[in-house]
Amino acid sequence: MFPRPLTPLAAPNGAEPLGRALRRAPVSRARAGLGGPPLLLPSMLMFAVIVASSGLLLMIERGILAEMKPLPLHPPNREGAAWRGSVARPGRLSLDAGDSDLQVRQDVRNRTLRAVCGQPGMPRDPWDLTVGQRRTVLRHILVSDRYRFLYCYVPKVACSNWKRVLKVLAGVLDSVDVRLKMDHRNDLVFLADLRPEEIRYRLQHYFKFLFVRDPLERLLSAYRNKFGEIREYQQRYGAEIVRRYRAGAGPSPAGDDVTFPEFLRYLVDEDPERMNEHWMPVYHLCQPCAVHYDFVGSYERLEADANQVLEWVQAPPHVRFPARQAWYRPASPESLHYHLCSAPRALLQDVLPKYILDFSLFAYPLPNVTREACHQ
3-state secondary structure of 150: strand
Residue 67 banded pLDDT, cuts 50, 70, 90: very low
3-state secondary structure of 140: coil
pLDDT of residue 63 exceeding 80: no
What pLDDT does 14 receive?
A: 46
Separation CA 133–CA 220 (nearest Å): 25
pLDDT of residue 238 exceeding 90: yes
What H or E segment, with its residue span, contains residue 303?
helix 302-312
Separation CA 375–CA 46 (nearest Å): 29
pLDDT of residue 38 exceeding 70: no
What pLDDT does 166 receive?
A: 95
Q: Of the ranges 42-56, 92-106, 124-138, which one carries the lowest mean pLDDT score?
A: 42-56
Report the sign of the C-alpha dihedral through residues 116, 118, 121, 127, in that order.
positive
Model confidence pLDDT, tens digit, residues 331-343 = 888 999 999 999 9
Separation CA 60–CA 161 (nearest Å): 31
Task: Calculate ∠ Cα 318-101-58, nearest 5°.
Answer: 150
- Mean pLDDT of the 142-168 span: 96
Closest CA to 176 of 303, 313, 332: 303
What pLDDT does 99 receive?
A: 66
pLDDT of residue 2 exceeding 80: no
What pLDDT does 326 receive?
A: 60
Separation CA 312–CA 89 (nearest Å): 9
Separation CA 180–CA 159 (nearest Å): 15
Q: How many CB atoms lie within 10 A of CB 205?
A: 13
Instruction: Work out the mean pLDDT of the chain and round it to a whole number.
Output: 79
The answer to whether the CB of 167 falls within 8 A of the CB of 188 is: yes
Sequence-distant contacts of 229-234: CB under 8 A, at least 24 apart: 231/256, 234/258
N-to-C CA span, the chain: 39
At 35, give phi and psi (nearest 5°).
-90, -15
Q: Which residue has the higher pLDDT, 282 or 30?
A: 282
Residue 158 banded pLDDT, cuts 50, 70, 90: very high
- What is the Cα Rg of the chain in Å? 21
**For residue 144, what are the β-bridge partners?**
149
What pLDDT does 223 receive?
A: 97
What pLDDT does 178 receive?
A: 77
- Please, what's the b/e burial string for 290-311 (b: 16 or more CB within 10 A of its CB; e: otherwise)? bbbbbbbbbbeebebbbebbbe
pTM of the prediction?
0.76
Model confidence pLDDT, tens digit, residues 174-216 = 888 877 777 778 889 999 999 999 999 999 999 999 999 999 9
Q: How many CB atoms lie within 10 A of CB 164?
A: 21
- Mean pLDDT of the 39-62 span: 43
Q: How many CB atoms lie within 10 A of CB 141?
A: 26
Separation CA 282–CA 154 (nearest Å): 7
- Strand ranges of the sheet holding 141-144, from the earlier edge strand across to the other edge: 141-144, 149-152, 207-212, 295-298
pLDDT of residue 24 exceeding 90: no
Sequence-distant contacts of 71-77: CB under 8 A, at least 24 apart: 71/2, 71/103, 71/104, 71/106, 71/107, 72/103, 73/102, 73/103, 73/106, 73/295, 73/308, 74/294, 74/295, 74/312
The answer to whether the CB of 197 falls within 8 A of the CB of 351 is: no
